[in-house]
């Protein structure tokens, strides 16, 4: 580190610090996060043994290859919007018996039928599992109301049920989007995006 003694002297003589000098000091004092530091924290000499590190990103393509190499990233899981089976299973899990007491549990045969009805009404690949779970948890003790009210909830969410086609947009959009509606693709192309 190079020190400019003249600015120190002028501060001593006048009792005031050069504002430009104080900004330089503040920048030097700020901790800097570097790729080297992150890699050492993950699996460097001082990294703890037996730990699990979870990383999330919306832009995998912008991450450095050194961060994504095998040994650092053992599992790569993409979270997409919910398919029909996930929607049905979420419904069943929310309304599964949680106590051994019979009167506190729902009839699981009825729940299975309601889960199918619910999954028929919710469009595939349009909502995240978290959005569906949030709706169902609000009606945790009212499984039938959840099925009957789902159309109104979808309208509130501005979600319309229409056919979806599995499309890999990675080359077109440069992102991690794997599902999109045909109408979305056509609207995007019509706008010139």
Is 118 within 8 Å of 87 (Cβ atoms)?
Answer: yes
Q: Are residues 151 and 121 in the same domain?
A: yes
Mean model confidence pLDDT for the chain: 75
Q: Is the pLDDT of residue 28 over 60?
A: yes
In a domain, 172, yes or no: no
% of the chain with per-residue pLDDT over 90? 36
The predicted-structure confidence for 157-181, as pLDDT tens digits, reads as follows 998 765 444 444 343 333 343 333 3
The predicted-structure confidence for 91-138, as pLDDT tens digits, reads as follows 999 998 866 545 556 888 999 999 999 999 999 999 999 999 999 999
Q: Are residues 64 and 89 in the same domain?
A: no
Is 178 within 8 Å of 169 (Cβ atoms)?
Answer: yes
User: H/E element holding 165?
Assistant: strand 165-166
Higher pLDDT, 117 or 49: 117
Higher pLDDT, 20 or 168: 20
Average pLDDT over residues 142-168: 80
User: H/E element holding 136?
Assistant: helix 129-138
Nearest Cα neighbor of 158 from 126, 110, 183, 119 is 126
Exposure string over 13-30, b if 16+ CB within 10 A, otherwise e? eeeeeeeeeeeeeeeeee
Q: Is the pTM of this model over 0.75?
A: no
Q: Is the pLDDT of residue 87 over 80?
A: yes
Q: Are residues 43 and 89 in the same domain?
A: no
Higher pLDDT, 27 or 71: 71
Q: Are residues 147 and 88 in the same domain?
A: yes
Nearest Cα neighbor of 140 from 171, 192, 180, 104 is 104
Q: Are residues 94 and 150 in the same domain?
A: yes
CB half-sphere exposure, 118, CA atoms < 13 A: 31
Higher pLDDT, 150 or 18: 150
Q: Are residues 110 and 144 in the same domain?
A: yes
In a domain, 142, yes or no: yes
Q: Are residues 61 and 89 in the same domain?
A: no
Q: Are residues 105 and 59 in the same domain?
A: no
Task: Determine phi and psi for 89, rounding to 5 degrees.
Answer: -65, -35
Range ranked top by mean pLDDT from 17-31, 34-48, 117-131: 117-131
Binned at pLDDT 50, 70 and 90, residue 30 comes out as confident
Q: Whole-angstrom Cα distance, residue 126 to residue 160? A: 9
Task: Please report the pLDDT score of residue 3 as a whole number.
Answer: 42
In a domain, 169, yes or no: no
In a domain, 178, yes or no: no
What's CA 21's distance to the chain center, in Å?
Answer: 42
Domain that holds residue 48: 5-68
In a domain, 173, yes or no: no
Q: Whole-angstrom Cα distance, residue 33 to residue 189? A: 39
In a domain, 96, yes or no: yes
How many domains does the structure of the chain reveal?
A: 2
What is residue 179's three-state secondary structure? strand
Task: Determine phi and psi for 37, rounding to 5 degrees.
Answer: -65, -40
């Amino acid at each position: 580190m190079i020190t400019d003694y003249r600015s120190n002297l002028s501060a001593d003589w006048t009792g005031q610090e050069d504002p430009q000098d104080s900004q330089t000091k503040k920048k030097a004092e700020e901790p800097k996060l570097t790729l080297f530091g992150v890699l050492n924290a993950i699996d460097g000499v001082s990294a703890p043994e037996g730990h699990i590190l979870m990383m999330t990103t919306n832009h995998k393509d912008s991450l450095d290859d050194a961060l994504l190499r095998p040994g650092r990233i053992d599992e790569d899981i993409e979270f997409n919007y919910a398919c029909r089976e996930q929607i049905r299973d979420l419904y069943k899990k929310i309304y599964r018996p949680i106590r051994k007491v019979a009167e506190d549990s729902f009839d699981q045969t009825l729940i299975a039928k309601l889960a199918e009805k619910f999954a028929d009404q919710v469009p595939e690949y349009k909502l995240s599992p978290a959005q569906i779970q949030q709706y169902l948890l609000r009606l945790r003790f009212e499984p039938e109301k959840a099925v009957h009210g789902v159309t109104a909830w979808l309208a509130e969410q501005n979600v319309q049920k229409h056919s979806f086609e599995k499309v890999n947009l990675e080359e077109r959009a440069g992102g991690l989007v794997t599902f999109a509606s045909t109408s979305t693709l056509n609207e995007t192309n019509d706008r010139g995006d």
